[in-house]
Amino acid sequence: MQNADREINKEKISVAEMAKQILEQGRADRLMGWKRGEFFYDNSPAVFENLSELDDFVYDLFCGSNLSKFLVKESRKDGKIAVLLKPCDRYSFNQLVKEHRIIKDNVLPVEIDCDGMLDIDKIRALGIKGIKKITVDGDQLQIDTVYGPKTCAREDVLLMKCLTCKDRVGGDRFELVKEIEAMSSVERYEFWRSELSKCIRCNACRNVCPACTCEKCVFDNDKSGIANKANTDSFEESLYHMIRAFHVAGRCTDCGECTRVCPQNIPLHLINRKIIKDLNEFYGEYQAGEDDFSKGPLTRFDLDDVEPDIVMERGGNK
């Protein structure tokens, strides 16, 4: 990690205290962090300009959102902005700096610790309704609801991206990809049909994606030839996600935001992971955003790269 100019919390003070000090000491003019929500779990990304605004600052188990992308706009404003980066968010930050999307000089990156964020949708999917409060009790969560107390394992309701955290020994992040690869071609087709036909083209995946920062997206550009607003045909359901995955190929840091925000819970990250897996296998391990200078795998080559035929020899139902 290239982090010479980064803030690292050496004294182990709380994140809120850190935020306060940064603004107090004038190390930055603004600070990007999270703001307390209506409930306890709906924290929103927010920019804090003064100490009084910091009263609403929050850093807890529901700060899953990746703040890097906001800097594309924020770093172009006057003054310096400090940004709180969880370990996984640094990759997106680096990648955006590499692509000159973030103006590095205007940003003070602040690295903060994270023990894994919770996914309220996963809690709801367990059938837990009317959630009023959650307390962490070791590996368990005590959930206070309108319908009485409930419990669940913390591990079961972590955000997808936290399960295979890059900065921790996590599980095999390609496990599901491998499962799909092992399916027959028809099964794969059916799997993606049933998943992608849920897509409502809300563009949340695109708009949250730190690799999707185009000045004008091809899907919004009538001249691109593929602009569309709705999945009018089943083909377009796939096309949108294929093109998006390909556009971020080699640049996707696997931050998992796409899956986090999908209102239909489509496991979009699997497409990106498949591409990452292929890139790693074909052209050597590469982690986008590991640094802010290296060329991505699709903008370089080796003389003895594998031939496209290799695809014919792989996967289920060869």
Partner 1 sequence: MSAQILTVKMENIGNLFKAIAADQKLYLPLEQAGQVQFLPYDPADDSQKVRLDVLNTVRSAKDLFFPQSENMVAFKKQGKKIDIIENREKVEAFTVFGVRACDARSFDILDRVFLSEPVDVSYAERRARGTVVTLACNEPEETCFCETFGIDAAKPDGDITTWIADGLLWWQANTNKGVKLTDKLLSVDAGLFVDSTGEAKALEEQQEKIREIISQLPLHGLSLEYFHKEELKTIFNSPKWQELSEACIGCGTCTFVCPTCQCYDIRDYDTGNGVQRYRCWDSCMYSDFVMMAHGNPRTSQVERFRQRFMHKLVYYPANNEGIFSCVGCGRCLAKCPSSMNIVKVAKTIGGEANV
Partner 2 sequence: MSIENKEFKPLIVAFCCNWCSYAGADLAGTSRLAYPAEIKIIRVPCSCRVNPMFVLRAFQRGADGVIIAGCHPGDCHYTTGNYYARRRMTLLFSMLDFFGIEKERTRVDWVSAAEGVKFSTVMNDFSKKIHELGENRRLGDLRCKMPIEK
Partner 3 sequence: MQRIGVFVCWCGTNIAATVDIDTVVEAMKYEPGVVHASDYQYMCSEAGQSKIKQAIKEHNLTGIVVCACSPRMHETTFRKAAKAAGLNQYMVEIANIREHCAWIHKDRKEATEKAVVLARTAVAKLNLNTPLTPGESSVVKRALVIGGGIAGIQSALDIAEAGYEVDIVEKQPTIGGKMAQLDKTFPTLDCAACILTPKMVDAASHENINLYTYSEVDSVGGFVGNFNVKIRKKARSVKADICSGCGICTEKCPSRKAENEFNLGLNKRGAIYIPFAQAIPNVPVIDRDQCIKFKTGKCGLCAKVCPADAIDFSQQDEIVEKQYGAVVLATGFNPIKLDNFDEFGYSQSKDVITSLELERIMNAAGPTGGKLLRPSDNGHPHTMVFVQCVGSRDTTGCGKTYCSKICCMYTAKHAMLIREKYPDVDVHVFYIDVRTPGKNFDEFYRRAAEDYGVNYIKGMVGKVAPTNGKLLVQGSDLIADRQLVIEADMVVLATAIEPDQTAKSLATMLTASIDTNNFFTEAHPKLRPVESPTAGVFLSGVCQGPKDIPETVAQASAAAVKVIGLLSKDKLMCNPCVANSNELLCNGCSNCQHVCPYGAIDYVEKEFRAGGKTSLRRVAQVNEAICQGCGACTVVCPSGAMDLKGFTNQQIMAEVDAICR
Among partner 3, partner 1, partner 2, none, partner that 140 touches (CB below 5 to 8 angstroms by kind):
none
Question: Which residue from 167, 154, 166, 173 is spatially nearest to 267, judged by alpha carbons?
Answer: 173
Residue 100 binding partner 3, by CB under 8 A: yes
Among partner 3, partner 1, partner 2, none, partner that 86 touches (CB below 5 to 8 angstroms by kind):
none
Residue 51 binding partner 2, by CB under 8 A: no
Cβ 62 vs Cβ 118: under 8 Å: yes
CA-to-CA dists, residue 221 to 81, 147, 196, 214, 217, angstroms? 31, 48, 23, 11, 6
The three-class DSSP label of residue 12 is coil
CB of 171 to partner 2, least distance (A): 20
Return the number of the residue (98 or 274) whose C-beta is nearest partner 2.
274
Give 48's strand partners: 31
Count, residues near partner 3 per rule CB under 8 A: 23
- Structure token digits, residue 317: 């139902």
Residue 201 binding partner 2, by CB under 8 A: no
Among partner 1, partner 3, partner 2, none, partner that 126 touches (CB below 5 to 8 angstroms by kind):
none
What's the angle, vertex CA 298, arms to CA 292 and CA 299, rounded to 5? 65
Choose, by CB under 8 A, the member of 245, 261, 266, 268 that binds partner 2: 245
Residues 118-157 within binding reach of partner 3 (CB under 8 A): none
Cα–Cα distance for residue pair 65/59, rounded to 1 Å: 11
Residues 170-229 within binding reach of partner 3 (CB under 8 A): 213-218, 221, 223-225
The three-class DSSP label of residue 42 is coil
Return the number of the residue (112 or 249) whose C-beta is nearest partner 2.
249
Residue 99 binding partner 3, by CB under 8 A: yes
- Structure token digits, residue 11: 């004294």
Cβ 236 vs Cβ 228: under 8 Å: yes
Cβ 288 vs Cβ 95: under 8 Å: yes
Residues in touch with partner 2 (CB under 8 A):
180-181, 183, 185-193, 225-226, 232-236, 238-239, 242-243, 245-246, 249, 271, 274-275, 278-279, 282-283, 297-299, 301-303, 305-312, 314-315
